[in-house]
Amino acid sequence: MEQAPHPDLSSLGPHGKAEKLPATKLAAVQYVVALVLVILTTGLWRLQILGANNFRALAQANRIRNVPILAPRGRLFDRDGKLLVDNYPSVSCYLLREQVKDLDADLPLISRGLHIPVEQIEATIRKYQGTAKYQPIPLKEDITPDEQAFIAAHRDELPELETLDEQRRLYPSDGFLAHVIGYVGEVSEQMLNDPRYAFYSPGDVVGRSGIEETYDAVLRGTDGSREIVVNSHGKEIGQMGTIPAIPGKDLKLTIDLDVQMAAEKAMEGKTGAIVALDPHTGEVLAMVSSPSFDPNQFAVRLTKSYWDQIVNNPDHPLLNKAIQAQLAPGSTFKTIMTLAGLQEGVAQNMHVFCNGGATFYGHFYACDTHHGMLDIEHALPESCDTYFYTLANRLGIDTIAKYATEVGLGQRTGIDLPDEASGVMPSTEWKLKTLHQPWYAGETISVGIGQGAVTVTPIQLARAYAGIASGGVFHRPHLVFPDEVSPQELEAVHETFNGSGEKTIQMSTANWEIITDALSQTTLMGTAAASHLEGIDFAGKTGTAQVMSHQALARSGGGHKTVPNAWFVGLAPRRNPDIVVVVLWQNGNWGANSAKLAARVIETYVNKQRRLDHNIRVVDTPAPAAKPETAATAQPTAE
């Protein structure tokens, strides 16, 4: 017979009765359990529902990597379709930080294989430490075949090293067209803070000067990408898909390669600038700034030695003197003085006797020779300082400033190049505003011959003469044909590089003819007679501008840097010209020296147009004969 099981006495109290859990404790336990279940359920829902896409992407990233395909920049051509700037294939090494656990341990091996000092690698990593870890760091550009082989051979040891095929810029050699084209480089931290570069990331290559900078958005294209499958060591084991890169747009420049070559040759070994302009359109046919620099040095990796070499050069090779050199124009300013005098009705009947200078306000102002009695038609080609001292005194500074401003001096032209300078056109208002001093009448005398406070850039002078010789029609200088970019892009360029732009001023036909005929006389019997071009209606104006006062010159003891700057502005033909050439030869002494350089450029242009049968207008206006009463003063002077 089975015995009955013993009852469980563990739940009995001390008096042998079963204890019950209080209702409040039971409720609390139930709420805790319920809360835990809610938390677990919520977390599970967030993981499986809300975070599903995110975790799926992370899981995908464990085996799929996006490799960028960099878009090649658009190429640059001259106006005739001749290639100026191309690209060449290159390989760069990037560092993938998420692929390595102990980067410091790998640095010595990376340093030896890529021939980079450990300190330089560490500095590069520090530079990018604020960026997302998944973003590759450019470690070395344009690596050699040996360095590519090193990376391939150490793929398992150094999974953090990745190579990337790129297209790099190939610029003309010897600094040819360097200031026009500019160069590319890595976007700087300062640029990234600029709204214009809001869509760029550290390491991106952008235009840093010249056309490369102005039209960067057009030239750079759109990068693509390639999805590759990698294993746990980061080694590629397959491909998923490719989004091809869209190359940047090619651009045709207004530069005429033949004219540019002539200008480059003319400035060889000299310091200064040459600008050749088509007055009918504002197209820049040639632009030279000398000395130049090699933009290829900037396209890959700039060495400290080369940087020190150009930065410490006293002739400032990085300065585009064609648009940034602000210097006294010397006697080239006399053409603007002539315009002001004629338009104001002062110069038509004004005769001045030059006896080697004149006295104004108790001070004697010298002229380079004794010209005798002169009128405006002969004072300009003979470049008589005494005549223009007198004209300046009669006009006054504010009238002079009015006409100089009308033709674009003292303001940017709006050319499509960065960092154009504005020059200075002084006036009573200008002096009060900048120096907080009144203008003194004696200061006007020096301005009348392009000295004193007035400064111009070569591009300003080219545009001013182009407009005057074209009867008062001024065009915005530009280096890219407007139809090469969209209307929106062109508008953006004009807004960014604003200036005097397109304009027309009123000029009487009689005054226009007096000025252009006088400019023609300059190359026939005036200060540039030695540069006369047979068979070409070649006109112009010389200018010799002191770089320091006579007192400062006496204290300096002389030297090459104290020699005056030599200017010349040439036109062909004299009226409604097809080409205007400005030459600035710093410390070139007499303007007649620069006239010879301009003559070479103009002759090259005219001969080319004749070859192309473009019917350039040459010798279409007979040169005015010298007046009998001035025969004694027709001997060429040296300016």
Residue 15 burial (CB count, 10 A): 5
pLDDT of residue 97: 79
Chunked into runs of 10 residues, the chain (639 residues) has average pLDDT values of: 50 51 73 79 71 58 67 94 93 81 85 90 84 78 89 85 86 94 85 74 84 94 77 63 88 98 96 98 98 88 83 93 97 98 96 96 93 96 96 97 97 96 97 95 96 97 98 97 94 91 94 97 94 95 81 56 92 97 95 96 96 58 38 42
Residue 255, Cβ neighbours under 10 Å: how many?
27
The residues pairing with 162 across neighbouring beta strands, listed in sequence order, are 94
Residues near 377 by Cβ (< 8 Å), separated by ≥ 6? 514, 517, 518, 521, 627
Identify the bridge partners of residue 68 per DSSP, sorted by sequence position: 225
pLDDT at residue number 238: 66
Provide the H-helix boundaries in 435-500.
Answer: 441-447, 458-469, 487-496
Query: Token pair for residue 627?
Result: 């007046």
Question: Using alpha carbons only, what angle is made at residue 400 by residues 468 and 572, rounded to the nearest 5 degrees?
Answer: 20
CA separation for the pair 49, 43 (Å, rounded): 10
484's tokens: 């090469």
Helix axes 397-406, 334-343, angle to 10 degrees: 100
Q: What per-residue confidence (pLDDT) applies to 555?
A: 54
Per-residue pLDDT, 11: 47
Torsion of CA 484, 489, 495, 500, to 10 degrees: 10
Query: Residue with structure tokens 């003197």?
Result: 321
Distance CA 323, CA 457 (A): 6
C-alpha 500/C-alpha 476 separation (Å) is: 7
Indicate the SS3 state at residue 403.
helix
Structure tokens at 122: 């560490």
Instruction: Determine the 3-state secondary structure of 478 from DSSP.
Output: strand
Give this prediction's pTM.
0.81
Q: Output the six-digit token pair for 241.
A: 């898909």
The pLDDT assigned to 233 comes to 55
Structure tokens, 407: 């033709």
Could you give the C-alpha distances from 303 to 140, 299, 306, 307, 309, in angstroms and in order? 13, 11, 5, 6, 10
Closest CA to 378 of 236, 490, 525, 485: 525
Task: For strands 224-230 and 205-207, give the pairing.
Answer: unpaired
